[in-house]
Amino acid sequence: MMNVNITAISQKRFNNNAKKSPYSMSLNRNKVQHPFWVMVSKEISDQVRSWRFIILVALIALTCLASVYTALTQFPKSAGAKSSEDIFFFLKLFTLSDGTLPSFTVFISFLGPLLGLSLGFDAINSEMNRGTLSRILSQPIYRDYIINAKFLAALSVVSFLFVTLGLLVVGAGLIFLGIPPTVDELWRVIFFVLLSIVYVAFWLNLSIFFSIIFRQSATSALAGIAVWIFFSIFYNMIIQLIAKGIAPQQIYSEQQAVNFQNFVLNLMRLNPSQLFSDATVTLLMPSVRSLGALTMAQVEGAIPTPLPLGQSLLMVWPQVTGLVAGTIVLFAISYYLFMRREVRSR
């Protein structure tokens, strides 16, 4: 094996030094792609090739299409009712359910976390266990490229998936209903898709965080699933218990009842999936005028019409801010921990 000429390599060595012009994000094969984008594209292809991603996409696609199908079968029944919501006929595709199968939005709020967790739970620890981390870190890249590339790759996969799903649902609606969505409805759908991406990004960052603090990917996957189950099943039960415990013995005024109700609601909103469902309900059901309890005085004189898009967005702004903030905080903690971590070979 020694007979191979090394001179070829030595010539390349000097050629290579001559053309060092990185920092261009070009897809041209002859030009040099910036190392960061090389990493992102490798991570994306890793995600797309993995079995767990294929399984989850199949699961999400099937359940969502099933829920859209039931929504479509429900349309003739609900179309009869003349209410202010009929203007937003198209959005019902996302929210209608016949009681046997949950609606599209409920599926997203339930399965979205699972998708986020599965894309990130072994982000860092698998690199450590395989012994690739120290090798990659000794290449001329900054350390944060690794965590940024992993996050960005998973996020772009999720975005692609959700945009596709959203378009599929809109397309199915166009074909089977024959009514095009209005501009307002289309914007609401776009905001809903964006919101779903942010929601999944939150869980993605949580799982990346676990992948940094736990050395075993099985542990980090379990930790992520535990948090998911806690928030989707137990959290509401606990809040009910607390609410029962602190409920006033006797309600003296309307104001008191409203305050109590809002307090309980705010406790519920510590749950990211509650934030998500608050926001989706407001976006996709324009007739929703408030997310909390209101006193009679506040409701008095209100005209029962759907809210314009701007007003709906204003109403969900705190929820969206909360979700984005949670995502950023988790990412910042992961980033800090990862940068501080000493990397040795396995």
215 touches another protein by CB under 8 A: no
Q: Which of residues 92-151 bind another protein (CB under 8 A)?
A: 130-132, 134-142
> What is the SS3 assignment for 33?
coil
- Nearest distance from residue 210's CB to another protein, in Å? 21
- Minimal distance, residue 49 CB to another protein, in Å: 7
Nearer of residues 114 and 128 to another protein, judged by Cβ: 128
Q: Give the CA-trace dihedral at 175, 178, 184, 185, to 10 degrees.
A: -50
Q: Which of 47, 42, 35 is nearest to 157 (CA)?
A: 47
Q: Per rule CB under 8 A, is residue 345 in the interface with another protein?
A: yes
Q: Which residue is listed with tokens 């859209």?
A: 68
Position 18 contacts another protein (CB under 8 A): no
22 contributes a contact to another protein by CB under 8 A: yes
Decide: is 11 part of the binding site for another protein (CB under 8 A): no
The residues near 265 (Cβ < 8 Å, ≥ 6 apart) are: 291, 292, 293
Q: In angstroms, what is the minimal distance from the CB of 7 to another protein?
A: 8
Q: What is the DSSP string of 188-210?
A: HHHHHHHHHHHHHHHHHHHHHHH
Quote the least distance from Cβ 37 to another protein, whole Å. Answer: 10
- The helix/strand/coil state of 121 is coil
| Nearest-approach distance from CB 291 to another protein, in angstroms | 46
Return the structure tokens found at 308. Answer: 């314009």
Dihedral in degrees, nearest 10, Cα atoms 292, 298, 324, 218:
0
244 binds another protein (CB under 8 A): no
CA of residue 260 relative to chain centroid, distance: 31
By CB under 8 A, the residues from 60 to 89 that bind another protein are none
Return the number of the residue (49 or 82) whose C-beta is nearest another protein: 49
Check binding of 33 to another protein (CB under 8 A). Answer: yes
Give dist(CA 325, CA 179) in Å, integer.
38
Which residues form the interface with another protein (CB under 8 A)? 1-2, 4, 6-10, 12-13, 15-17, 19-20, 22, 29-35, 38-39, 42, 46, 49, 130-132, 134-142, 342-346
